[in-house]
Structure 1
Amino acid sequence: MKLHVLASGSSGNSTCIQFGDTNILVDAGISARRVKTGLDAIGVAVEDVSAVFVTHEHTDHISGLAMLTKKYHLPVYAKPATLAAMSCRDLLPPACCRELPDSLDIGNLRIEPFSISHDAADPVGFNFFSGQTKCSFATDIGFVTDSVRKRLENSDVLVFESNHDVDMLQTGSYPWYLKKRILGNRGHLSNNDCGWALARMAKKQHTDVFLAHISKENNRPDVAESTVSRILEEAGLNLGEDITLHVTYPDRMVSLENQE
């Protein structure tokens, strides 16, 4: 398995996951040109992407969809309510729009979406399975319920939200209504909540975790990494052995390759 976070943050999100010859995108919240540039850098042609899986309809997750579908005719899988709520829905070719089922197989990959808590029409996270390998994806999540935690457990690779530092958010320049939204159960996951959720999950012998959707205004990559690291160490986990953390960025790709 190979995973490439092309971009992650409030300005745009897109991730490419490769299982053998199967290439899929999770979200397309950056321009089609940026998607193509990122894929070219890892040796994947846009035309060889099997599908785009959409977590929810917010602009930073779908802004590149219209051009990707118009130019490259990529299939787009999303929940019916998500498709209906997309601002670009009328620009997507009908033949490209697919309703996301409870599970489906593409090539050697099984995809299983699951519901998450966020202020969108019908937001989802994803589990991707191939053989004994499991990759999980959950960003834009206000609260980790028991059912979501169980879905994320025993992953080999996990892309997980570490959106904000609570103190930075509370003392920052955002208006109160926006702070309240972010802090709410249908908002975004803080560094502390990310760390404790990871600490409480059942895990394989080793897990690679990508800290994703890091806020530009209310967080920093080093703050996210240090906070989550401290919590994991307090919980008795060995960084680099039990869990390896990878921070993500809005303007450059972060990759993990050659996972068995």
Structure 2
Amino acid sequence: MLNDFQIVMLASGSKGNAALISTAKQRFLVDIGISCRALTTRMKEIGVSVNELDGVFITHEHVDHVRGLATFLKNYQVPVYSSVLTWRAILAKDSSLVRQNCRLIDNNRLLCGDLEVQSFSIPHDAVDPHGYTFTSRSNGSKCTYLTDAGFVTDTIREAVAGSSALVLEANHDVEMLKNGPYPRHLKQRILSTLGHLSNDTAGHFLTELERLPEHIVLAHLSEHNNLPQLAQDTVQNILQDNNRLQETELFVAAQNRVVADSPLPAVLDLK
């Protein structure tokens, strides 16, 4: 399986999300859920300038995915893409948003250089939430970004199938959530079909795939209802029990530090 992508998680969790998806010639962000200052600082840590970005893709309008967007649009000329309904939801919250670099994904498909980017609907309590696939037009290598999903739909299965790299939500441990400090209504929201994927759900979903991605990054971990080692162990154990662990390499994203699925010098040598 070909994997031409590098994933660098600049931030991932309930307090903010931003991921850098790179190939040898292109760089894209998924979400700007941290401040623009934090974003630029973390990108500088890996030797990448914001001005090198070819685009930004927004999954949905929740603040942990768009916190730095308004400042970003004021300061940079990088195109920012989302669905029309998501843009409307974002603008409804901040009508002063600078709009000249806002772009719509027409018919859920966009050609960006050598990549075809496709959005796919996900079940979450936002207006029009989407995940994204980035597919090389030259060799078919595919990277998929999937977080903030209440359950795994057939649309999600189709989008993830054949991916060589995958960002996959492993938001919570069910028992930690049930016994944790959240109020009952919030626990019900997270566990609902419009909430978030658990560690167990993420692991069992992976066993359904005919081929596992070479690299899988577990993402959007809850600060209060999960632990990085627990998420990794749970998914690893499920894969091991199904004799699938040897097919992939697992990484766990973090809220306050950069996590890459391959050595960072690979990013520095891209251009």
**Normalising to structure 2: TM-score of the pair?**
0.91
What residue number does 2:6 align with? 2
SS of structure 2 residue aligned to 1:167: helix
What residue number does 1:52 align with? 56
SS of structure 2 residue aligned to 1:210: strand
Give the counterpart of 1:32 among 24, 29, 36: 36
How many residue pairs match? The answer is 256
Runs of 5+ unmatched residues, structure 1: none
Structure 1 residue 111: Cα displacement: 0.4
Give the counterpart of 1:165 among 168, 173, 191: 173
Structure 1 residue 193: Cα displacement: 0.4
Give the counterpart of 1:108 among 104, 107, 114: 114
Q: How does 1:103-252 map to 2 (within 5 A)?
A: 103-130=109-136, 131-203=139-211, 207-237=214-244, 239=245, 241-252=246-257
In 2: Cα distance, 1:37 partner to 1:221 partner: 24
1:24-45 CA distance string (max 9 Å, x none): 1000000111111122122221
In 1: Cα distance, 2:191 partner to 2:11 partner: 23
1:191–1:224: 8 Å Cα contact kept in structure 2?
Answer: yes
Identity %: 42
Runs of 5+ unmatched residues, structure 2: none
1:20–1:108: 8 Å Cα contact kept in structure 2?
Answer: no
2:251–2:261: 8 Å Cα contact kept in structure 1?
Answer: no
Structure 1 residue 88: Cα displacement: 5.1
SS of structure 2 residue aligned to 1:68: helix
Q: Which residue identity is paired with 1:234?
A: D
Structure 1 residue 21: Cα displacement: 2.3
1:19–1:109: 8 Å Cα contact kept in structure 2?
Answer: no
2:117–2:134: 8 Å Cα contact kept in structure 1?
Answer: yes
1:133-158 CA distance string (max 9 Å, x none): 11001000000012211210111110
RMSD: 1.5
Q: Which residue identity is paired with 2:112?
A: I
SS of structure 1 residue aligned to 2:95: helix
SS of structure 2 residue aligned to 1:56: coil
Note if 1:98 corresponds to 2:103.
yes
Structure 1 residue 91: Cα displacement: 3.3
1:117–1:185: 8 Å Cα contact kept in structure 2?
Answer: yes
1:17–1:24: 8 Å Cα contact kept in structure 2?
Answer: yes
In 2: Cα distance, 1:172 partner to 1:242 partner: 34
SS of structure 2 residue aligned to 1:233: helix
SS of structure 2 residue aligned to 1:245: strand
Moved over 4 A (4+): none
